[in-house]
Amino acid sequence: MAQCGVCFRHCQIPEGRPGFCGARICRDGRIEAYNYGRITSLALDPVEKKPLVRFYPGSLILSAGSFGCNLRCPFCQNYEISWSEQAREFARTAETFSPEELVEIALRTRPRGNIGIAFTYNEPLVGYEFIRDTARLAKAAGLKNVIVTNGTAELSVWEELKPYIDAMNIDLKGFTDRYYSQVLGGDRAQVMAFIEEAVKTCHVELTTLIVPGENDSEDEMRALSRWVSRLRNPDGESVPLHISRFFPRFHMQDRKATNVRTVYRLAEVARENLEFVYTGNC
């Protein structure tokens, strides 16, 4: 048995077994990335889909996903590859790529407008070693590196990645400890600390999904946006906030999709404190 150090869970993982996230395993008394190089999804996406609107807008980026996640959002859009129960099947069937092979694919798609590699779809930081090794090669080849993440990771993980990462979209899923712990199974303090460190060295944009009855009050959005207003990206610009709409999905089908007017109203509340606020999927 050994202890994992990636996130707040600090899982004690028995020999030969995966941890809570489904992506890390104990082998020979040490923790390693069980999902290293195992790609479940690969697509050339608009960078705005990450979403990043103030980082090389109009460009495409090669988006790669693996399996596993350290949260349990009941409305997860990618639960097939994120929740460990479903991810076990992908552990057996996912195609394995080396860092060199993924970088080569990214380079081949440059003529189509690709600027680099985005690590996305599942929670990429639970397999940060593959990101580190691939991003190092990608950066040397002149490619950009992007991470789309829930930000639930120890700062020691970010220390290994930050020399190679150019941009991130980080979920700031709400602004109460109750929502993070009881609904998502997460740790808001860890996410906030991660964001505060990330903005020091790479371009960061944040996303908040508005779930009816959970994080949709004006008071919460006012507090969230006030905190975000303290942050600055390395170029001195304020950090953009994307406010998006919930749709019934997976284990949370007990409520309707977020009212579009609610999303627009909360965006106006956020603009009391922030320069860049964007509404998505409305």
Position 244 confidence tier, pLDDT thresholds 50, 70, 90: very high
| Domain coverage including residue 138 | 2-280
CA distance 131 to 165: 9
Q: What is the pLDDT of residue 93?
A: 82
Q: What is the pLDDT of residue 282?
A: 82
Which CATH number goes with the domain that contains 239?
3.20.20.70
Q: What is the pLDDT of residue 20?
A: 95
Q: What is the pLDDT of residue 86?
A: 60
The phi-psi region of residue 68 (left if phi > 0; otherwise alpha if psi is between -120 and 50; otherwise beta) is left
Q: What is the dihedral sign for C-alpha 50, 56, 61, 65?
A: negative
Q: What is the pLDDT of residue 85?
A: 63
Q: What is the dihedral sign for C-alpha 260, 167, 126, 120?
A: positive
DSSP for 124-159, please give it: GGGGHHHHHHHHHHHHHTT-EEEEEE---S-HHHHH
What is the per-residue burial (b if ≥16 Cβ within 10 Å, else e) of 90-110? bbeebeebebeebbebbbebe
CA Rg, the chain, in Å?
A: 18
Residue of 93 and 106 predicted with greater confidence: 106
> Which of 28-32, 79-83, 102-106, 128-132 has the lowest average pLDDT?
79-83
> Regarding beta strands 241-245 and 277-280, do their DSSP bridges make them parallel or antiparallel, or are they unpaired?
parallel
What rounded mean pLDDT belongs to the chain?
A: 96
Q: What is the pLDDT of residue 84?
A: 60
| pLDDT, tens digit, 9 for 90 and up, residues 3-26 | 999 999 999 999 999 999 999 999
Q: Is the pLDDT of residue 173 over 80?
A: yes
Q: Is the pLDDT of residue 149 over 90?
A: yes
Q: What is the pLDDT of residue 68?
A: 94
Nearest partner of 160 among 173, 147, 143, judged by Cα: 147
| pLDDT, tens digit, 9 for 90 and up, residues 204-216 | 999 999 999 999 9
The contacts of residue 250 (CB under 8 Å, 6+ apart) are: 74, 75, 76, 77, 79
- Say if CB 234 and CB 201 are below 8 A apart: yes
Q: What is the pLDDT of residue 96?
A: 96
Q: What is the pLDDT of residue 280?
A: 85
282 exposed, middle or buried (CB, 10 Å; 0-12, 13-18, 19+)?
A: middle
| pLDDT, tens digit, 9 for 90 and up, residues 179-194 | 999 999 999 999 999 9
Position 87 confidence tier, pLDDT thresholds 50, 70, 90: low
Q: What is the pLDDT of residue 92?
A: 77
Query: What percent of the chain has a predicted confidence (pLDDT) above 90?
Result: 94
CA distance 63 to 40: 11
**Quick one: average pLDDT of 29-40?**
96
With tokens 């020691």, the residue in question is 156
Q: Is the pLDDT of residue 168 over 70?
A: yes
How distant, in Å, are the alpha carbons of 10, 140, 166, 186, 262 from that of 177? Answer: 19, 40, 29, 9, 22
Count of domains forming the chain: 1
Tokens of 175: 């602004």
pTM of the model: 0.97
**Quick one: average pLDDT of 234-250?**
97
